[in-house]
Amino acid sequence: MKQETPNDLITVSEGRRLLGVSQAKMAYLIRDGSIRYFVNPLDKRVKLLSKAEVLALIPQRASKVA
């Protein structure tokens, strides 16, 4: 079954900026499945993230910091 691609895709760098995490932490979040990624059809090396999924992690991160 093919995953439906969201319309709100952003780069991994933009996702890092929104979450305020390091490159290593973002790689971990992607690797452990906390954030799904989609391959850019124009450049297979580039991973794209759903902005909604990234923003959904912000309340979770805030509660872990507190």
DSSP 28-46: HHHHTTSS-EEEETTEEEE
pLDDT in the model for residue 5: 81
pLDDT in the model for residue 31: 96
Q: Which residues of the chain have pLDDT under 70?
A: 1-3, 61-66
Task: Give the pTM.
Answer: 0.79
**Closest C-alpha among 20, 54, 25 to residue 37:** 54
